[in-house]
Amino acid sequence: MLLLLKFAVLLLTLGLCQGNRQPNILVEDVEDVEPAFEPSRFGSLWPLPQKVKISQDSFKLGSSFRIVDGKGSSAGSSCNILQNAYRRYYEYIFGGAKRQGLGKNRRSAPSELTELRVYITSADSECDGYPSVKSDESYDLSVVQPFAVLRAPKVWGALHGLETFSQLVYEDEYGAKSINATAISDFPRFAHRGILLDTSRHFLPVKVILANLETMAMNKFNVFHWHIVDDPSFPYLSRTFPQLSQQGSYHPYTHVYTPADVKMVIEFARLRGIRVVPEFDTPGHTQSWGKGQPDLLTPCYSGATPSGTFGPVNPILNTTYDFMAQFFKEISSVFPDGYVHLGGDEVDFTCWKSNPDIQKFMDAQGFGKDYSKLESFYIQKLLNIVTTTKKGYIIWQEVFDNGVTLKPDTVVHVWIGSGTNEEMSKVTAAGYTTILSAPWYLDYISIGQDWRNYYKVEPLNFNGTEKQKALVIGGEACLWGEFVDATNLTPRLWPRASAVGERLWSSKDVTDLNDAFNRLSVHRCRMVERGIPAEPLFYSYCPREYKGL
């Protein structure tokens, strides 16, 4: 899905040549905004909750402050997700320095907040489960004296509520942790709020993935779309087909994800209410698969003889489908999420066209010269295979565009940057659930505050009925890996992805760019303080600059 966008960039450049003022307007727009460092009336909340009421009354968080399970909560001390989150947020709130000892038995001052009580209100807290696209993520938070109360039907909402609570805490002029009396009622606008990381073009050490899951939680993202393999390398260590990474990764030991690594990522994500949706993109984008799996890829021909190069997955061999059946059986058990992303984008037909066996097959099937029919034939068989594993599937938009028969619950992922709104109309008119990524390709960089462009996107701004719009379950910010690895990924992603995070979480009418700038500036400094090298929005400073050099 990269080629077309490159083209779009080229167009933009050409636009410049013709004296098209548009890029300049964008830049001027940035210039006009003298950064207004006025504090927002919503403090540093990000993404902005659906309903917020912050009063002027403030309380101190004393040394005895605790986050505790509320009495009668359906999740108790055995709930790992919550207990881990309590500790995490306690450390975030107090900066890791646990101020023990001093006045431990001191009676709390009248303006002191002593506890945050967390109640899971529905009978099944889902504490031991995995988040899903249907998870209830809502919560209510009330900060009053002497106890703040967080209520959520499920643990997923409680996690978001804890993040929100931690964002309400600030330091007064004496450095004391303070919080204002607040009432918040919150839920996400969209159920699918994702980040795509590409671990094939550059290998990302597990540590980097975990750090970004941590940051995703700070921004209330809930889907890690793991574009784990692609042409350049195959770092996924398959138990069934170990040769795939043995031969196809950059290095078979240092540049692979072992089953233990994958497990760690999934559990780390679960503890933060994040789904891990793996993508195994076929039939294109599979050069690295061919190294460890002979006969999987189509041999390309030069004239009448094989040229020694290979094209997409070979769709005419039964062995291909046997392989896929076994492979996706493994995937369906390794990745607990209800969905797997099957790719299906950017299939180049030239190699198929060159191969005489494929031509024969095309004739036998009556496909004529229409290679998109062959592609559909492959995808169709693949979808049937994946259906038997009881997983739902997500596919890039071309699969839909090419008219492949899809199950009604298929999710179509829209990524092409031109005609996006028309595509959204078409896909939803056909009754398919949709995810939007086209406006949020964060690997495209330019000088200036491009987060504003991501922020201004309105995902439902296409022609369609209310019913169609309800089919848009969310969006994803994509950080493709051509120019990104562990050295620059985190500052490139954050806080630019945060802009997408608010668009997908907050109410449709949260569109005030100045207020967003004010909140996001502080939110970015909070990420920095939590050890995440989130880059600056514009000239300014953070009270505590990044120290992780």
Partner 1 sequence: MAWGQNISEPCLLKTGIGCPAVSAGDEAEMGVMSTVSSGQHTRPMCYLLLLMILQLGLHTAEGVWPLPQTLISSTERFHLSPQAFYFGYGRQSAAQQGCSVLDAAFKRYFALIFPDYTSGRWNLFSDKNEKDGTLPFNVDKQFTVEVSVDHNDCDGYPNESSSERYNLSVFSGRASLKAVTVWGALRGLESFSQLVYQDDFGSYFVNKTDIKDFPRFQFRGILLDTSRHYLPVQAILKTLDAMAYSKFNVFHWHIVDDPSFPYQSRTFPDLSSKGAFHPMTHIYTQSDVRRVISHARMRGIRVLPEFDSPGHTKSWGKGQPDLLTPCYKGGIPSGTFGPINPALPSTYHFMATLFKEVSVVFPDSYIHLGGDEVDFSCWKSNPYVRAFMQKMGFGSDFTKLEAFYMENIVNITSALNKTSIVWQDVFDYHERIPKDTVLHIWKGTPASYYAELSRMTKAGMRVVLAAPWYINHISYGQDWHNYYTVQPLNFSGTEEQKKLVIGGEVCMWGEYVDATNLTPRLWPRASAAAERLWSDEKQTSNVDMAFPRLQDFRCKLVRRGIQAEPLYVGHCKQEYQGI
Catalytic residue annotation: 346
Three-state SS for 282? Answer: strand
Residue 49 in contact with residue 185, Cβ under 8 Å?
Answer: yes
Taking CB under 8 A as the criterion, the residue among 1, 4, 16, 350 binding partner 1 is 16
Answer yes or no whether residue 24 interacts with partner 1 by CB under 8 A: yes
- Residues from 225 through 244 that contact partner 1 (CB under 8 A): 232-233
Three-state SS for 313? Answer: strand
Taking CB under 8 A as the criterion, the residue among 36, 109, 176, 445 binding partner 1 is 445
Q: How far is the CB of 449 from partner 1 (least distance, A)?
A: 8
- Residues from 512 through 531 that contact partner 1 (CB under 8 A): 528, 531
Taking CB under 8 A as the criterion, the residue among 133, 196, 208, 223 binding partner 1 is 208
State CA 135 to chain mean position distance: 16
Task: Build a one-symbol-per-residue string for 70-99: x at contacts with partner 1 by CB under 8 A, - elsewhere.
Answer: ------------------------------
User: What span, in angstroms and rounded, lies between the C-alpha atoms of 143 and 213?
Assistant: 27
Nearest of 139, 461, 523 to residue 540 by alpha carbon: 523
Give the position of tokens 């921004």: 219
Q: Which span (77-85, 391-399, 440-448, 514-522) binds partner 1, by CB under 8 A?
A: 440-448
Phi/psi for 355 (5° steps) reads: -90, 120
Judged by CB, which is closer to partner 1: 515, or 535? 535
Nearest of 229, 141, 218 to residue 185 by alpha carbon: 141
Answer yes or no whether residue 452 interacts with partner 1 by CB under 8 A: no
User: What span, in angstroms and rounded, lies between the C-alpha atoms of 497 and 473?
Assistant: 18
Judged by CB, which is closer to partner 1: 250, or 321? 250
Taking CB under 8 A as the criterion, the residue among 67, 79, 477, 534 binding partner 1 is 534
Greatest Cα pair distance, the chain, in angstroms, is: 89
User: What span, in angstroms and rounded, lies between the C-alpha atoms of 283 and 231?
Assistant: 11
Tokens for 157, please give them. Answer: 């909402």
Taking CB under 8 A as the criterion, the residue among 104, 405, 463, 483 binding partner 1 is 483
CA distances from 182 to 43, 112, 145, 380 (A): 11, 14, 10, 52
Q: Which span (221-229, 316-324, 424-432, 475-483) binds partner 1, by CB under 8 A?
A: 475-483
Answer yes or no whether residue 23 interacts with partner 1 by CB under 8 A: yes
Three-state SS for 195? Answer: strand
Q: Which span (216-224, 265-273, 405-413, 487-495) binds partner 1, by CB under 8 A?
A: 487-495
Exposure string of 53-76, with b = 16+ CB inside 10 Å and e = fewer, is ebeeebbbbbbbbebebbeebbbe
Nearest of 451, 457, 318, 371 to residue 33 by alpha carbon: 451
Q: Which span (56-64, 131-139, 181-189, 248-256) binds partner 1, by CB under 8 A?
A: 248-256
Q: How far is the CB of 302 from partner 1 (least distance, A)?
A: 17
Judged by CB, which is closer to partner 1: 205, or 338? 205
User: What span, in angstroms and rounded, lies between the C-alpha atoms of 221 and 213?
Assistant: 9
Q: How far is the CB of 170 from partner 1 (least distance, A)?
A: 17
Q: Which span (9-17, 143-151, 278-286, 499-507) binds partner 1, by CB under 8 A?
A: 9-17
Residues that bind partner 1 (CB under 8 A): 6-7, 9-10, 12-14, 16-17, 19, 23-24, 27-28, 30-31, 201-203, 205, 207-208, 211, 232-233, 250-251, 254-255, 443-448, 481-488, 490-492, 528, 531-549
